[in-house]
Amino acid sequence: MMTTTSDPAVRNGVDRAALFATLDAVKANPDLARFQFRATNRWLTGTHSQGRIRGFYGAGAEDNTRIVDFVLDADHPRVLTGADSGPTPVEFLLHALAACLTAGLANIAAARGVTLTSVESTVTGDINLLGILGLSDEVRNGYEGIKVDLRVSGDAPDDVLRDLVERSRARSAVYDVLTGGVPVDVTVDVVS
């Protein structure tokens, strides 16, 4: 059927019916939108630690669909006295940003009936380590700036594709956190 061809149930790998059903369910019960995500971490040696991600709370319940932990090693590179056993912590931030913009773009394009062909991105972050090395109080510890170069193709005119990316940026959780900041509370327990 033409209708099915032009408006498929699954577009960009996104189940549109499930997406719209999710939106309707949350509209009817906004408490379903409250999520808590979590990561645990264990120091191994030097600057090498291992993170595990699995459980989260959301949609009114503790998730029980994830059946394995996601395991992520992190380390410093050799030039920063690490063993390079994983990406640096600050590199995970760049990855998170690219992944968030990309997932949002796929969802928004699917909702608006645009089929994407490809989405690729390069994210760079400039940082002056005089801050974290404790050698300057005028240089901040974190990135001075982050740049995202996103390359997209799909079955819509250029301005429509650009607008979809802009909508993804405007609703990106990671973009919002990285640009706006978030309160972080650190508590320490000394154990024996």
Burial (Cβ within 10 Å: 0-12, 13-18, ≥19) of residue 67: exposed
Binding flag, residue 114, its own copies (CB under 8 A): no
**Which residues, numbered 39-98, are part of the site for its own copies (CB under 8 A)?**
39-49, 51, 53, 56, 58-59, 63, 65-66, 70, 72, 74-82, 84, 86-98
In the three-class reduction of DSSP (H, G, I as helix; E, B as strand; rest coil), residue 163 is classed as helix
> Whose CA is closest to 75, among 50, 96, 39?
50
**Which residues, numbered 14-43, are part of the site for its own copies (CB under 8 A)?**
14-15, 18-19, 22-23, 26-27, 30, 33-43
Binding flag, residue 155, its own copies (CB under 8 A): no
Q: Which is nearer to its own copies, 1 or 190 (CB)?
A: 190
Binding flag, residue 118, its own copies (CB under 8 A): yes
Token duo for residue 9: 């149930």
Burial (Cβ within 10 Å: 0-12, 13-18, ≥19) of residue 131: middle
Instruction: State the minimum distance, in angstroms, from the CB of residue 55 to its own copies.
Output: 10
Q: Which is nearer to its own copies, 34 or 113 (CB)?
A: 34
> Whose CA is closest to 43, among 92, 94, 85, 96?
85
How many Å apart are CA 75 and CA 90, to the nearest integer?
Answer: 10
In this structure, what DSSP letter does residue 69 have? -
* Binder of its own copies out of 3, 130, 138, 155 (CB under 8 A): 130
Binding flag, residue 9, its own copies (CB under 8 A): no
Number of chain positions touching its own copies (CB under 8 A): 133
Binding flag, residue 115, its own copies (CB under 8 A): no
